[in-house]
Amino acid sequence: MSLSPKRRRLGRLGAAVAGAAGLALSLVVAPPAAADTPPADSVTSDNIEHVAHLPKPEGLESTNSDLAFTGDYAIGGNYNGFVIYDISEPEEPEVVSTVLCPGGQGDVSVSGDLLYYSVDYPRESADCGAAESSPADADAFEGMRVFDISDKENPQYVAAVPTACGSHTNSLVQGEETDYIYVSSYSPSERYPNCQPPHDQISVIEVPKDAPEDANLASEPVVFPDGGNHDQDNLLLPTQGCHDITVWAEKDIAAGACMGDGVIFDISDPLQPEVIETVRDENFAFWHSATFTNKGDGVIFTDELGGGGAPTCTPEVGPERGADAIFKLNVKEGKGDKPARADLKFRSYYKIDRHQGGEQNCVAHNGSLIPVKGKNYFVQSWYQGGVSIIDFNNLKKPEEIGYFDADDRVDEDVEVNTNTWSTYYYNGYIYSSDISRGFDVLKVDDKRLEKAEDVEFDEFNPQNQPQY
């Protein structure tokens, strides 16, 4: 979920207008606006229709990042805050409200009326209007922000929890009374008092649902007590914590993409996740994200070769680098004094074969399963490579069955570098968060995927994988 692993320290963000004292919030309530007519020159397969587009709203001209969903709403993260979209009519989405709260990354998760937002660039304080700071400042804030979004037109900022090295991504383990947020972060340095090496850990935040203002740092488990992968040639960064974690709470497991390592966690104790399997791959430069198969008998890991800023979808780079790696997974639950065990076995790579130009950054990025019972279909972003739908029912022979590559024009007068960060299936439609364009809605018409339309979620966090 990064443009570049080093941008968490180097990026520049404009400050929002400060509000009241305390946890200040700058809120822009946008008037309803009709979705734009999609440009005609996008490249798309016959089974995908581009049905709606919304440009980035005023104030959120910075980088768009991840998405989360609750009821008839999508929440879009941005390096300057977040936007709430009304998707009750998916082909006519509207902006409900925009929150300006700069902090970088903007990874989002939703739990009922609570929204969790990742801050990965240091600020002088936790206030939304706080100026950018230096990671060398011991008083700087970076970590998690908590918002109450029960009123979608007027979100409230209720808590801020600092974490070591900030929060690059966040993932949820949801309970009836308490949420646990797994915070992934990295890039430690001896110069950073709040981000000291070796940082082979994650942070776990505890949020009482009835009192989110009491959110607190509950544990900092060291998940690589013996250190991670530091020696492999061509790593973008050595293992120093994790980049992203996908939780499957019903099975008490999680899959971690941890820079130099792909791992499986036992999360039966949510405060002390434990690595029970590790895999490495000489073709992987940066283990970026993970998704379980429908039955939990496999995992797709993604490799963000070049940190999301390089043209890797070219014949010269080839099909095995900057790709997905698909593994067979076998998990044995722990019994008594015997701990849980897991085994990952490599099955295949997948990479789009629609080669992009030498100037187009294209690499495997964020996606989710399409919820067809008992089947494995995956929709995924590839930055400037667009959106790809993958059939990986045969783990050894994945194939693309649909694609959408947006036109660089958002209208007749405006041209941007289309750059889809995350693409997810939710209640009958595919939603894409584009770094530059904004928000796109796709409709897929394919007999293989029809049964997914029978699945309705009240809430969906792609890094909190449900049992279909």
Per the prediction, the chain carries an average pLDDT of: 90
CATH number at residue 242: 2.130.10.10
pLDDT tens digits, one per residue of 369-395 = 999 999 999 999 999 999 999 999 999
In a domain, 106, yes or no: yes
Give CA separation, 105 vs 2, 122, 307, 452, in Å: 7, 11, 14, 30
3-state DSSP: the chain helix, strand, coil percent, rounded to 5? 5, 45, 50
Binned at pLDDT 50, 70 and 90, residue 15 comes out as: very low
The partner residues of 94 in beta bridges, in order of sequence, read 86
Answer positive or negative: Cα dihedral of 155, 157, 161, 163: positive
Q: Which residues of 292-325 are buried (b: 16+ CB within 10 A; e: fewer)?
A: bbbebebbbbbbbbbbbbbbbbeeebeebbbbbb
The neighbour count for residue 137, using CB atoms within 10 Å, is 14
Strand partners, 391: 377, 399
Q: Is 374 left (phi over 0), alpha (psi -120 to 50) or beta?
A: left
- In contact, 83 and 145? CB cutoff 8 Å: no
Q: Which helix (H) or strand (E) segment is 10 a member of?
A: helix 7-10
What does the chain come to in residues? Answer: 468
Which one-letter amino acid corresponds to residue 203?
Answer: S
387-391 and 377-381 beta bridge pairing: antiparallel
Does residue 1 lie within any of the structural domains?
no
Amino acid residing at 78:
N
Using CA atoms of 302, 304, 305, 311 in order, give the dihedral in degrees to the nearest 10: 110
Residue type, position 462, single letter: P
Q: Return d(Cα 254, Cα 171) in angstroms, integer.
A: 10
Phi, psi of 452 (to 5 degrees): -65, -25
Residue 34 pLDDT exceeds 80: no
Q: Examine the pLDDT at 29 and tell me if it is beyond 90.
A: no
Query: What digits encode the pLDDT tens for the residues 200-236?
Result: 999 999 999 999 999 999 999 999 999 999 999 999 9
Residue 370 domain boundaries: 7-460
pTM of the model: 0.92
CB–CB of 39/149 below 8 Å? Answer: no
pLDDT in tens, 403-428: 999 876 555 555 556 799 999 999 99
Residue 318 resides in a domain: yes
Q: Tens of pLDDT along 345-375?
A: 999 999 999 998 888 899 999 999 999 999 9
State residue 10's pLDDT score.
Answer: 31
Pick the closest to residue 274 from 338, 236, 326, 221 (CA basis).
Answer: 221
**Tell me, what's the pLDDT at 359?**
84
Whether 119 is covered by a domain: the verdict is yes
The pLDDT assigned to 333 comes to 82
The answer to whether the CB of 24 falls within 8 A of the CB of 127 is yes
Asked if residue 356 belongs to a domain, the reply is yes
3-class SS at 89?
Answer: coil
Task: Encode pLDDT of 39-69 as tens digits.
Answer: 556 789 999 999 999 999 999 999 999 999 9
> Residue 219: its pLDDT value, please?
98
Residue 257: inside a domain: yes
Q: In what order do the strands lie in the sheet with 114-123?
A: 105-111, 114-123, 141-148, 156-162
**How many CB atoms neighbour CB 415 within 10 A?**
12
pLDDT given at position 340: 84
Answer with the residue of higher pLDDT: 332 or 399.
Answer: 399
Contact 118, 85 (CB under 8 A): no
Q: Tell me what the mean pLDDT of segment 102-106 comes to.
A: 94
Structural domain contains residue 220: yes
Structural domain contains residue 466: no
Q: Does position 20 have pLDDT exceeding 70, yes or no?
A: no
Overall domain count for the chain: 1
